[in-house]
Amino acid sequence: MKRKKGEGMVRLRSDGMWEARIIQNKRQKSFYGHSEQEAHNKLLTYINMLTQGLKINKNISYAGLLHTWMARKKQEIKPQSFHRLVSTVTLHILPAIGHIDILHISAQLIADAVIQPKAKILSYSSVKKIYDALNESLRYAHITGHITRNPMDLVVMPAQTSEMFILKKAARCSSLEILSDDEIRRFVAAAHATYNNGTPVFKNGPLFILMLNTGLRIGEATALCWQDYDAREQTLTIGASIIQTKNEAGKCVIAKQDSVKTRNSKRILKLNQNAITALPHPQKAGYIFCTKDGRPLHPRHVQVMLDSILRRAEIPHKSTHVFRHTFASRLFEKGVDVRIVSELLGHTNVSTTYNTYITLNKKQKARAMIAIEDMY
């Protein structure tokens, strides 16, 4: 059958296979099939892709597309955000579907190989990061002409209220590390310990006392400078964070990021007397808590110092998050409204605070009901 111009030609080869040919830019491209219709369909698919402006390159894997997209993202987002993106892509996306040709990435494949399996074992926020990375990278593939449409348009992100996420969240919340009153007393004493000549055993030990009385994240606490402290108003302005990232050589380094985790993380905190006492004296320019040469403290060194103080206080190993959790716990015990706690912690919204400390809220309500019972 004679074909129209631009439709190519189909012939039966001597080996019994059918070959469909087309000339594009003075170069011949062939497609093969066991039947005339199969070979012709492959040819039509190719022509259709050319018509829609797709980039027809051989063996473009999703990994290759991700590499190009991430090189672009590195110029657009903060170093810490890029570091998290690299971790998300490397751990959760590349092993599952990175080897697959970009043209074969479908909504069903994404759901079956990535989203659903990860939703069974990871938190909502972690799965959302994976979903967003898939969505944005495949949108980039669509815009640049590698695919005809973004398959993520048909992929459903599991709701945050899904039972599997709620159960995992509850399990994490029930195991939050919190210092008891006795542990707090022992820890404070150990952090303020001195040698016989009066020299502090832990020069930066009061850092943890400040965190215990403010709920600061470790990155926020180590980024504090004396210019952030208003001695007259007795307040601290939280507006930066020390982050761990990688340099061009791939080596882990720390850097000061002049913005905090979320828009609500930037805040002004009124200090209590314990927090004020924790501030070093005399005051010097630069970082409030720092190394001997005035550089910011490295998160790894902070954890080493914390471990030493805990051993001295005879308290089991804890992470730096224990002070933030303990701060929130004591506020709830005092009956402080969750909205106030959320503002003090710098959470994006109240639901984040409630979901994180739901167990503490329940314990508080239970104690309240017992107190009412005792009134009669």
Band the pLDDT of 266: cuts 50, 70, 90.
confident
Do 110 and 193 lie in one domain? The reply is: no
Do 257 and 363 lie in one domain? The reply is: yes
| Structural domain contains residue 346 | yes
| Structural domain contains residue 56 | no
Please write the tens of the pLDDT for every residue from 195-223: 999 999 999 999 999 999 999 999 999 99
CA torsion, ordered 59, 63, 64, 67, to nearest 10 deg: 180
CA distance 94 to 66: 9
Tell me the β-bridge partners of 51: none
Looking at residue 11, its pLDDT comes to 87
- Six token digits for residue 325: 């959790």
Return the CATH number at 204: 1.10.443.10
Higher local confidence (pLDDT), 193 or 259: 193
Which of 151, 172, 193 is where one domain is finished? 172
CA distance 272 to 290: 22
Please write the tens of the pLDDT for every residue from 159-183: 887 777 777 665 565 557 889 999 9
Please write the tens of the pLDDT for every residue from 272-320: 999 999 999 888 879 999 999 999 999 889 999 999 999 999 999 999 9
Which of 114, 141, 172 is where one domain is finished? 172
Do 150 and 293 lie in one domain? The reply is: no
CA distance 174 to 360: 8
Band the pLDDT of 327: cuts 50, 70, 90.
very high
Smallest Cα–Cα separation from 159: which of 127, 133, 137? 127
Do 333 and 189 lie in one domain? The reply is: yes
Do 71 and 206 lie in one domain? The reply is: no
Do 168 and 191 lie in one domain? The reply is: no
Do 135 and 190 lie in one domain? The reply is: no
Looking at residue 375, its pLDDT comes to 47
- Domain range for 143 is 62-172
Do 218 and 366 lie in one domain? The reply is: yes
DSSP secondary structure string, 361-373? Answer: HHHHHHHHHHHHH
Please write the tens of the pLDDT for every residue from 58-116: 568 999 999 999 999 998 888 778 888 999 999 999 999 999 999 889 999 999 999 99
Say how many domains are in the chain.
3
